[in-house]
Amino acid sequence: MRKFLAAVLSMMLLASLIVLPASAEEAVTMDNIKIGFVHVSDPSDMGYTYNHDLGTKAMQAALGLADDQIINKYNVPETDECADALQELIDDGCTIIFGTSFGFENYMLAAAEENPDVEFCHATGFQAAGSGLANMHNYFGKIFEARYLSGVVAGMKSLEIKNNMLGYVTAMPFAECISGFTSFYLGAKSVNPDVTMKVMYTNSWNDPTKEAQVAQALIDQGCGILSQHCDSTATATTCEANKVFHVGYNSSMISVAPNASLTSAVWDWSAYLIFAVNSVVAGEAIPADWAGDLASGMCDLSEINEAIAAPGTDEAVETARAGILSGDLKVFAGPLTGAGKNYDGSDATIELKADEFFDESGSQSAPSWNYIIPGVEVIGE
Amino acid sequence: MTHAHDPFVRVVKRTNIERSKVVLFRLTALVGALLAGALLVALLGYDPAQMYGDMVSGAIKGFIGVNKKGVLAFTNASQATIKIMTLLLVSALGLTMAFKMRFWNIGGEGQILVGAICSSYVAIQFGDTWPQWLILPAMFLAGCVGGGLYGLLPAIFKARWGTNETLFTLMLNYIALNFITYLQYQPSWQITGTSFPKIRDFADSTQLPGVLGVHIGWIIALLLAVLVYLYFAKTKQGYEITVVGESANTARYAGMNVTRIILRTMFISGAICGFAGFLQVSGADGTLTTDTAGGAGFTAITVAWLAGMNPLLMIVYSFFIAILERGSNRIQTTMGIPKSAADMLIGIILFFMLGVEFFINYRLVFRARHRKEEAAA
Least confident segment among A373-377, B92-96, B306-310: B306-310
Q: Are residues A182 and A313 in the same domain?
A: yes
pLDDT at A10: 60
What is the percent of chain B with per-residue pLDDT over 90, rounded to a whole number?
A: 63
Shortest distance, CA A19 to any CA of chain B (angstroms): 7
pLDDT score, position A20: 42
Contact A242, A216 (CB under 8 A): yes
Q: What is the pLDDT of residues B239-278, one digit of tens each?
A: 999 999 998 889 999 899 999 999 999 999 999 999 999 9
The answer on A170 and A77 residing in a single domain is: no
pLDDT tens sequence across B119-136 = 999 999 998 899 999 999
> Would you say residue A228 lies in a domain?
yes
Lowest mean pLDDT among A196-200, A342-346, A351-355: A342-346
The arithmetic mean of pLDDT across residues A216-241, rounded, is: 95
pLDDT for B210-229, tens place per residue?
Answer: 899 899 999 999 999 999 99
Distance (Å, rounded) from C-alpha B134 to C-alpha B122?
A: 11
Give the model's confidence band at A18: pLDDT under 50 very low, under 70 low, under 90 confident, else very high: very low
What's the fold here for domain B74-323? ABC transporter involved in vitamin B12 uptake, BtuC (1.10.3470)
CA angle A235/A241/A246 to nearest 5° reads 40
Q: What is the mean pLDDT of residues B293-315?
A: 93
Domain shared by A346 and A313, yes or no:
yes
Question: Across the A/B interface, how many CB contacts are shorter than 8 Å?
Answer: 122
- Tell me which chain A residue has its CA closest to the CA of residue B82: A84
Q: Under a CB-based contact definition with an 8 Å cutoff, are residues B356 and B10 in contact? A: no
Please tell me whether residues A163 and A128 are part of one structural domain: no
pLDDT (average), residues A159-180: 94
Contact across the interface for A174 and B333, Cβ inside 8 Å: no
Burial string for B342-372 (b: 16+ CB within 10 Å, else e) reads: bebbbebbbebbeebbebeeeeeeeeeebee
Return residues 31-60 of A near B (CB < 8 Å). 42
Residues of B in contact with A124 (CB under 8 A): 196
Q: Which residue of B has its CA nearest to A5?
A: B316
* pLDDT higher than threshold 60 for residue A17: no
Which residue in chain A has the smallest CA separation from B77?
A88
Taking the Cβ of residue B55 and every Cβ of chain A, the question of whether any pair is shorter than 8 Å is answered with: no
Yes or no: say if A63 and A276 are a contact pair by the CB < 8 Å rule. Answer: no
**pLDDT at residue B337, as a whole number:** 86
Query: Which residues in chain B are closer than 8 Å to A108, comparing Cβ atoms?
Result: none
Does some domain include residue A279?
A: no
Q: Write down the pLDDT at residue B341.
A: 86
At what angle are helices B236-246 and B76-100 packed, to 10 degrees? 70
Same domain, A198 and A255: yes
Residue A8 has pLDDT above 70, yes or no: no
Inter-chain contact A81–B195, Cβ cutoff 8 Å?
Answer: no
Q: What is the mean pLDDT of chain B?
A: 90
Residue A22 has pLDDT above 50, yes or no: no
| pLDDT above 80 (res A343) | no
Whether A11 maps to a domain, the answer reads no
CB contacts, 8 Å: A84 with chain B: 76, 79-80, 83
Whether A154 and A40 share a structural domain: no
Q: C-alpha angle with apex A49: A43 to A51, nearest 5 degrees? A: 90
Those of residues 192-231 in A touching chain B at CB distance below 8 A are 203
Least confident of A36-40, B73-77, B234-238, B309-313: B73-77
User: B269, B97 in Cβ contact below 8 A?
Assistant: yes
pLDDT tens, residue by residue, B202-211? 998 999 998 9
Closest listed residue to residue B323, CA positions, set B353, B281, B278: B353
User: Does residue B372 surpass a pLDDT of 70?
Assistant: no
Q: What is the CATH number of the domain that holds A363?
A: 3.40.50.2300
CA distance B267 to B155: 8
Q: What angle do CA A51, A54, A59 make, to 5 degrees?
A: 135
* pLDDT over 70 percentage in chain B: 96
Residues A85 and A151 in one domain: no
Mean model confidence pLDDT for chain A = 90
Q: Which one of A107, A141, A175 terminates a domain?
A: A141
Looking at the complex, report in whole angstroms how far the Cα of residue B67 sits from the nearest Cα belonging to chain A.
Answer: 12
Do A74 and A221 fall into the same domain?
no
With 0-12 / 13-18 / 19 or more C-beta atoms within 10 angstroms meaning exposed / middle / buried, residue A40 is: buried
CA distance linking residue A53 with residue A35, whole number of Å: 13
Number of domains in chain A: 2
The ipTM (two decimal places) reads: 0.81
Do residues A107 and A137 both lie within one domain?
yes
pLDDT at position A19 is 43
Among A109, A124, A141, the domain boundary falls at: A141
Q: What is the pLDDT of residue A222?
A: 96
| A155 & A237 share domain | yes
CA–CA dist A94, A86 (Å, integer): 9
Please identify among residues 128-187 of chain B the ones whose CB lies closer than 8 Å to any CB of chain A: 181, 185-187
The pLDDT of residue A7 = 60
Residue in chain A closest to B312 (alpha carbons) equals A2
- Which of B229, B242, B221, B230 is CA-nearest to residue B103? B242
- Looking at the complex, does the CB of residue A176 fall below 8 Å from at least one CB of chain B? yes
Rounded-to-integer distance, Cα B208 and Cα B72, Å:
18
pLDDT tens digits, one per residue of B12-48: 888 777 888 888 988 999 999 999 999 999 998 999 9
State the pLDDT at residue B370. 56
- For range A89-107, the mean pLDDT: 94
State the pLDDT confidence band at B49, using cuts at 50, 70 and 90. very high
Tell me the pLDDT band of A257, cut-offs 50, 70 and 90.
very high
Question: Could you tell me if A54 and A128 lie in one domain?
Answer: yes
The percentage of chain A sitting over the pLDDT mark of 70, rounded to a whole number, equals 93
Q: How many CB atoms lie within 10 A of CB B247?
A: 12
Range of the domain at A110: 34-141
**Of B327, B305, B324, which is closest to residue B314 (Cα–Cα)?**
B305
User: Which member of B187, B195, B285 has the closest CB to residue A175?
Assistant: B195
Strand pairing of A261-267 and A245-250? parallel
* DSSP category for residue B199: B
Per-residue CA distances from A218 to A147, A155, A235, B205 (Å): 20, 17, 10, 47
Alpha helices, H only, A143-261: 143-161, 175-191, 208-220, 234-242
Position A9 pLDDT exceeds 70? no
State mean pLDDT over A87-113.
94
Mean pLDDT of the A143-168 span: 96
pLDDT, average across residues A333-339: 92
Q: Each residue of B323-350: pLDDT tens digit?
A: 999 998 888 888 888 888 888 888 998 8
Element (H, E) at B133: helix B132-161
Interhelix angle B217-234/B258-279, nearest 10 degrees: 170
pLDDT bin (cut points 50, 70, 90) of residue A325 is: very high
* Identity at A198, one-letter amino acid code: K
Closest residue in B to A69 (Cα) is B334
Residue A331 pLDDT > 80 = yes
Q: Does A148 share its domain with A137?
A: no
Name residues 67-126 of chain A within 8 A of B (Cβ): 71-75, 77-81, 84, 87-88, 91-92, 102-103, 106, 124, 126
What lies within 8 Å, CB to CB, of A181 at 6+ separation is A147, A168, A170, A197, A199, A227, A229, A376
C-alpha to C-alpha distances, A321 to A138, A149, A324, B239, nearest whole angstrom = 26, 7, 5, 77
